[in-house]
Amino acid sequence: MTIQQAQQQVDEWIKSVGVRYFNELTNLGILMEEVGELSRLMVRTYGEQSFKESDQGKELGDEMADVLWVLLCLANQTGVNLTEALQQNLEKKTSRDKSRHRDNEKLQG
């Protein structure tokens, strides 16, 4: 599935099953909640915090997909083509950072 296809599928789902989009600010709040849930699982899986009973059954991929879902909703609502935005962002980073990371002593083996 391409990013464009994902945006289209989310839009179709929202309009058929979800009835309508939540407004942009509500979706921004939901995005922050989903990022928090992903963060919680990451710090328990890779960090030093221990798991709680409420963490049972949570999967990183599912939490990441929740974040992506809401981001796709926001892109659709605001008219952002994420394929184009990501391509432009990669070009910006490549131009800006072409030697920055290679020259960073902290990243050397």
Q: For residue range 36-69, what is the model confidence (pLDDT) as tens digits?
A: 999 999 999 999 999 999 988 999 999 999 999 9
Q: What is the pTM of this model?
A: 0.90
> Per-domain residue ranges for the chain?
3-103
Q: Which fold has domain 3-103?
A: Helix Hairpins (1.10.287)
What's the mean pLDDT in 20-32? Answer: 98
pLDDT attached to residue 97: 87
| Cα atoms found within 13 Å of the Cα of residue 41, Cβ hemisphere only | 17
Q: Cα dist. 27→24, 51, 103, 109 in Å?
A: 5, 28, 39, 41
SS3 108: coil
